[in-house]
Structure 1
Amino acid sequence: MRRILLTLAVSLATLPAVAAIQQAPLEWESGGKTFSGVLLYDDAGDARPGVLMVPNWMGVTDAAIAQARDVAGAGYVVLVADMYGKGIRPADSDEARKQVQAVFADGGVTARERAGDALAALRGQAGALPLDPGRVAAIGYCFGGTVALEMARAGADVDGVVSFHGGLGSSAPASAQSPVATSVLVLNGADDTSVPDEAILAFQEEMDAAGADWQLVNFSGAAHCFTHPEDAGKTGNCRYDARSARRAFEMMRDFLGERFQAPGG
């Protein structure tokens, strides 16, 4: 019995530490305003890549934080980015629409600036958190996906960009004169009426003209919001699709894994 207990004790002592997801607020400045997001990361292991996550038009919500927790659990330091300003949290879709319109009122200049400052705030956590500031990507959902693509067009210093059911158009599209240097993955619902075929074609032509390394995946039967469990059971264009969401997240993980291992990435 003594030998069994000793063997068990040695075995337990050699097991790897169990990581716990930590959550902490983070504030930063942009354009003279204060912004307030949320950091999520596990508390075990060495420095790992960072992910700037721009949520949907409802902003920094419990649902957005839950999604970020899943991403952090895959081995990343995640910042859920606030795009509206500290204390501005839309109560419904009407309020959210007004905030989105304000962010894009100048053709996306404000969106790019705020996203860039949030990215700098994330990188600024290197040393305080287990973050490798040389390996950072941006992802976004719906409105956030649109913002992530604007970051790619603006030449943001990121290893890759992922858009989940985001809008594809831009007031300042990329071109041969303003090329897209980072890799882009667009995950789109094939039945999303807010992204018609002509928008997809225009995006493809834009990315080709800009010399981008891009992929666009259409998920059959999926509409807008297809990665959001809070929209389960809804009808219309905004509805959750578990199968497509699972596949999309797997594609994101594969994409980020490749980008963070790539030379210079």
Structure 2
Amino acid sequence: MPQTVVRDVEYQHRGTRMRGLVITCPGGAAGDSSAAGVLLIHDAFGLGEEMIGNATLLAEAGHPVFLADVWGERATPSSVTEIGPLIGSMTRDRDRWLGRVAAAHAVVDTDPEFTGRPLALLGYCFGGSSALEYLRTGAAVAGVAAVHPGLDLLGQDWSTPGSGSVLLMTGADDPMATPAMRSRLEEHLSSAGLDHQFHVYSGTTHAFTSPKAAASPEPELFAYNARSAARAWAATTGFLAELSAPAS
């Protein structure tokens, strides 16, 4: 049975060391060299086991994955008291925030595992916000898949957007992606001429793909939802298959 290969990749942004990972599965489903590559942007908990697990499944399905390290030094905060200041430091300095995403993109552009492949951004939670914000400010990629992103973190100036299809997966009851926020994003994407689709899951709040939220103290705000998580995964893998170039 083909085994995944995990490779550490260090890169820099404004003097901060970022510690990303490349995960591939040579000889398996990844034998199709036209399958889309994935730049995965982690959730608020950083580049930890959950994100690595998702990336491993994608690699086994044929998509090489680069996991960005947005927090730097592969930090994996474990509590709201740690996460809040980290997110705040990015939203207060968007050049720094998006510069870190761009630095990861630059690594992908020079990595031979991704040469000749369409590239998709895949972000969870804060990572989904990061992917959409990067698109808003000019990123040119094949697609952006955002899983329960905080739409409240996005800027509203879409005058210089990038390119790429958009897949949004969110809970109908997510307080960080309200109907008004979703409607506003849809208007921006339409005005920018960007192909897009929204998957809205009923009875679902924020962070619904994360098993860490299974025992949520505030389920009305964030909670794991196994059915919605499975639907989002199926939507994500279908989206990546759609982006992949046809085999020659």
TM-score by length of 1: 0.84
Q: What amino acid does structure 1 have at the position aligned with 2:7?
A: A
Which of 38, 46, 50 lines up with 2:37 in the alignment? Answer: 50
Aligned length: 240
What residue is the counterpart of 2:123 in the other structure? 140
Q: Is the 8 A contact 2:171 2:208 kept in 1?
A: yes
Distance 1:87 1:142, change over 3 A: closer
In the alignment, does 2:225 pair up with 1:241? yes
* 8 Å Cα contact 1:152-1:184 kept in structure 2: no
Q: Structure 1: which amino acid aligns with 2:67?
A: V
Alignment of 1:163-182 (within 5 A): 163-169=146-152, 172-175=155-158, 177-182=159-164
- Separation in 1 of the partners of 2:20 and 2:224? 25
Q: Judge conservation of contact 2:47–2:74 (CA < 8 Å) in 1.
A: no
Taking the TM superposition and a 5 Å limit, the aligned residue runs for 1:143-154 are: 143-154=126-137
| Amino acid across the alignment from 1:157 | A
Residue 254 (structure 1) aligned to one of 223, 232, 238: 238
Aligned with 1:66 (options 47, 50, 53): 53
Which letter maps to 2:118?
R
Partner of 2:188: 206
Whole-angstrom CA distance in 1 between matches of 2:14 and 2:155: 20
CA distance in 2 between partners of 1:171 and 1:254 (Å): 26
Match status 1:120 vs 2:103: no
**Quick one: structure 1 residues 140 and 116, their matched pair in 2 at CA, closer, same or farther if it must change by over 3 Å?**
same
Structure 2, unmatched stretches of 5+, are none
2:5 matched residue in structure 1: 22
> Contact 1:159 / 1:259 at 8 angstroms: preserved in 2?
yes
1:227 to 191, 204, 209: 209
Between the aligned partners of 1:256 and 1:49, the Cα distance in structure 2 is: 6
The percent of aligned pairs where both chains have the same amino acid is: 30
Contiguous gaps of at least 5 residues in structure 1: 1-17
Alignment correspondent of 1:110: 96
The equivalent of 1:195 in structure 2 is 177
Contact 1:55 1:81 in 2 (8 A): yes
Give CA deviations for 1:74-123 in whole Å, capped at 9, x if unaligned.
Answer: 211111211111153323221111111111212x2222211111011123
What code does the residue aligned with 1:189 have?
Answer: G
Query: Following the alignment from structure 2 to structure 1, what is the Cα–Cα distance between the partners of residues 41 and 81?
Result: 19
CA-based RMSD of the aligned residues comes to 1.9
CA contact (8 A) 2:129 2:151 kept: yes
1:141-199 CA-to-partner distances (Å, cap 9, x unmatched) read 11000001012112212110000000224564343x32442111100111112222211
Q: Is the 8 A contact 2:172 2:203 kept in 1?
A: yes
Larger radius of gyration: 1
SS of residue paired to 2:180:
helix
Q: Of 68, 76, 89, which residue of structure 2 is paired with 1:81?
A: 68
In structure 1, the residue corresponding to 2:169 is in which secondary structure?
Answer: strand
Q: Distance in 2 between matches of 1:203 and 1:49?
A: 25
Q: Where does residue 183 of structure 1 map in the other structure?
A: 165
Deviation at 1:63, TM superposition (A): 1.6
- Distance apart, 1:24 and its partner CA: 2.0
Q: What amino acid maps onto 1:156 in structure 2?
A: A
For 1:121, what is the secondary structure of its paired residue? Answer: helix
Q: Which residue identity lines up with residue 102 of structure 1 in the other structure?
A: S
Indicate conservation of the 8 Å contact 2:140/2:162, yes or no: no
> How many angstroms apart in 1 are the aligned matches of 2:193 and 2:156?
13
Aligned-partner SS, 2:118: strand
- Would the aligned equivalents of 1:174 and 1:180 in 2 still touch at CA under 8 Å? no
User: Following the alignment from structure 2 to structure 1, what is the Cα–Cα distance between the partners of residues 154 and 228?
Assistant: 29
**8 Å CA contact retained: 2:144, 2:165:** yes
